[in-house]
Amino acid sequence: MKTAAPSDQVGWQASMDMVCETMLAAQTYPSPRHLYWIFMRLPYIGSSAAIVLFHCLAYLASSAASSLASAADVPAAIETGLTTTERKPLWELGLGAAALHQTYYTGTRQTRTLGVPVPLIIYRGEIFRSDNEGIRAELIDDERFELDLSFGLNLGIDSEDVDLRKGMDDTDTLFEIGPSLKITLAKTELSEWRLNLPLRVNLGFSSDGIDESGFTFAPDIRYSRRLFEWSDQTWIGTASAGVQFGTREFQNNYYGVEPEFASDERPAYEAESGFSGSRLTLTLRSKTDQRLIGIFGRVENISGASFEDSPLVETRTGFTVGLAFSWFFLRSSALEPG
């Protein structure tokens, strides 16, 4: 695993401290450009990225706590423009389509384009919920802290479609499940800053059944803001920057080469647990009673990752862009819990 030299690491941490302290001195919260500043420097500091990122997160949490304490006379239920106090239907059903263009995995230059029909189910139960934040079970939910059970999906890869993997076993589709702690750092009438701390186990699905495929931890800091109104519709933008760590089993799903698949050009390789890279994600969405539109993009960088020297890595970056549209045709008369 590559790491920054001690003097370089101290320099990067000092620079990050200076930025965070400047924001505190001005008594302002960071803007999206600070997310970009953090993300662009993560690759250069290698495995020390998490240390530096959390250095800044600690400052942000401290700043948010101070600001919230001084605003104790403000009502607890803050109308952000991102949510509404109006109770919504308990469930909604929709049908639409999604188009996705992405690298097969971060490390290859080859890409794929997918177009699929998308059934959309929104459910707003007291514990189980499915909405724009994904499928989850809320275990603890108060004004500033939320603990839930979250889910995710990583599509499998046909190795014959990727030159670096030809002749190897295909990768399974991975279903992710695990707890996620969400901390609201700051909130205004139009925007919100939040820290997400998800820890998930990955379950591989294949014709041979289901097997456990390692764990991931992917903390990120997320900024959401109501951007503009168009045709009487509200558009909300979200930017997030974060890092990811994975266990050996998870890293080897994509970057390991078993001896039976080794060759002169592709030597045997076993990935180690540790840093998996950094990511920057941008989304734009709008929802009305009739339809949902979402546009999203993600850039990932694996510089400094524990598997950076894998023979299955030919580039340090990867990306995903997509567009989704859904039309709601049925909703319940019952309302979500108050």
Inter-residue contact 112 to 161 (CB < 8 Å) = yes
Model confidence over 277-289: pLDDT tens digits?
A: 999 999 999 988 7
Q: Estimate to the nearest angstrom the gap between the alpha carbon of 281 and the chain centroid.
A: 7
Average pLDDT over residues 135-163: 85
Q: Higher model confidence: residue 54 or residue 251?
A: 251
pLDDT number for residue 121: 84
pLDDT number for residue 16: 43
Average pLDDT over residues 226-255: 93
Pairing state of beta strands 233-246 and 111-124?
A: unpaired
Tell whether the model's pLDDT for residue 76 goes beyond 60. Answer: no
pLDDT number for residue 111: 97
Neighbours of 308 (CB within 10 A): 19
Tell whether the model's pLDDT for residue 164 goes beyond 80. Answer: yes
Confidence grade of residue 128 (pLDDT, cut at 50, 70, 90): confident
pLDDT number for residue 71: 34
pLDDT number for residue 54: 43
Tell whether the model's pLDDT for residue 159 goes beyond 50. Answer: yes
Q: What angle do CA 204, 209, 213 make, to 5 degrees?
A: 25
Tell whether the model's pLDDT for residue 81 goes beyond 60. Answer: no
Rounded to whole angstroms, how far apart are CA atoms 97 and 291?
12
pLDDT number for residue 11: 44
Tokens of residue 208, six digits:
């041979």
Lowest mean pLDDT among 22-26, 114-118, 134-138, 296-300: 22-26
Average pLDDT over residues 187-214: 90
Q: Higher model confidence: residue 109 or residue 76?
A: 109
Lowest mean pLDDT among 181-195, 200-214, 299-313, 316-330: 200-214
Model confidence over 309-331: pLDDT tens digits?
A: 999 999 999 999 999 999 998 88
205, amino acid identity: F
pLDDT number for residue 312: 98
pTM of the model: 0.72
Query: Helices H, strands E: what count in the chain?
Result: 4, 13
Average per-residue pLDDT for the chain: 79
Tell whether the model's pLDDT for residue 25 goes beyond 80. Answer: no
Confidence grade of residue 134 (pLDDT, cut at 50, 70, 90): low
pLDDT number for residue 289: 78
Element (H, E) at 220: strand 220-230
User: Comparing C-alpha atoms, which of 41, 113, 39 is closest to residue 298?
Assistant: 39
Pairing state of beta strands 191-206 and 145-154?
A: unpaired
pLDDT number for residue 131: 73
Tell whether the model's pLDDT for residue 271 goes beyond 60. Answer: yes
pLDDT number for residue 314: 97
Confidence grade of residue 240 (pLDDT, cut at 50, 70, 90): very high
